[in-house]
Amino acid sequence: MNSGAAVTIGPAFWVVLALLCAAAAALAALSGLRMSRGVVTASVRAIVQLTAVSLLITWVLAAWGPTAAFIAVMLVVASATSARRIGGDRSSWWAAAAIAAGAAPVLALIVVAGVVPLTTVALVPIAGILIGGAMTATSLAGRRAMEDLRVRRGEFEALLALGFPDPDAVRELCRPYAGQALHPALDQTRTVGLVTLPGAFVGVLLGGGSPVQAGAAQLLVLIGLLAAETIAIVVVLELIARGVINRPAVA
């Protein structure tokens, strides 16, 4: 590996991080976005969490037991994040089913097909990427569906009056807009190589792989994410339509 391609960690690194965080927080405050505190807390959490992971990763990847536990922690944290975004009550924890339904079959197909080796060092990053993508899609689709059911109550009741069964009325109302949760993944896939060189591509290059290997890895990640996120969106919408995840109360 060419060490000259790696990030240089030193005083300048931490100064740059601090300046970027401060600039983002200040701009958010001055523009009235009311997200400056979120910028700072998210940045601090990222530093703490990645530092911990960096120190633990050698132990985690040493055996399948710690690796499985680490992936389970990923799923729990992702589920908690989506549950909080969707509604916050206990039923929202069913978001875990949507995330797992999206990530698990894609990961299984990749491993069973032998596209990546069945090793801990290969499985953990791919699992993390898929779980993270499914989490984002679940959060966006679930939150949008809840918002539609809250603010478009009249349209929902009109669908019921027209004879739509309750779950079908939810699907009819929410499905077109819940699909917008897939837009970030679609945009990233459409513009890859033209606008951005995403993490998997750069990571393989930094690890000493060839540009062709880097491109193949990135294609696997991007198209795998499209599949995982699509499944997650469909499942979370179905959970809301069937009332498994509680809908917003309307006075």
The sign of the CA dihedral 97, 100, 106, 108 is negative
User: And the tokens for 75?
Assistant: 């799923």
pLDDT at position 207, please? 63
Question: For residue range 138-179, what is the model confidence (pLDDT) as tens digits?
Answer: 999 999 999 988 888 888 889 989 988 988 998 888 888 888
- Angle between the N-to-C axes of helices 120-151 and 36-60, in degrees from 0 to 180, rounded to the nearest 10: 150
Contacts of 94 (CB under 8 A, 6+ apart): 239, 244, 245
* Greater model confidence, 222 or 203: 222
Q: Which long-range CB contacts under 8 A does 192-196 form with residues at least 24 apart?
A: 192/218, 192/222
pLDDT at position 2, please? 46
CA angle 141, 145, 150 (to 5 degrees): 150
For residue 75, pLDDT over 80 is answered with yes
| 249 pLDDT tier (thresholds 50, 70, 90) | low
Q: Decide: 87 and 248 in contact? Cβ < 8 Å.
A: yes
Of 235, 247, 237, nearest in space to 89 by CA? 247
Mean pLDDT for the chain overall: 86
Q: CA-CA distance, 1 to 141, in Å (whole number)?
A: 41
Question: For residue range 196-218, what is the model confidence (pLDDT) as tens digits?
Answer: 666 666 666 566 667 777 778 78
Of 98, 52, 60, nearest in space to 79 by CA? 98
What are the extents of the domains in the chain? 1-56, 61-241
Q: Which long-range CB contacts under 8 A does 57-62 form with residues at least 24 apart?
A: 57/124, 60/120, 60/124, 61/120, 61/121, 61/124, 62/120
For residue 1, pLDDT over 60 is answered with no
Q: CA-CA distance, 205 to 18, in Å (whole number)?
A: 27
Per-residue pLDDT, averaged over 1-22, amounts to 78
For residue 251, pLDDT over 50 is answered with no
| 195 pLDDT tier (thresholds 50, 70, 90) | low
Question: For residue range 84-141, what is the model confidence (pLDDT) as tens digits?
Answer: 989 867 888 999 999 999 999 999 999 999 888 888 888 888 999 999 999 999 999 9
Of 182, 186, 185, 162, nearest in space to 173 by CA? 162
- Name the β-bridge partners of 192: 196
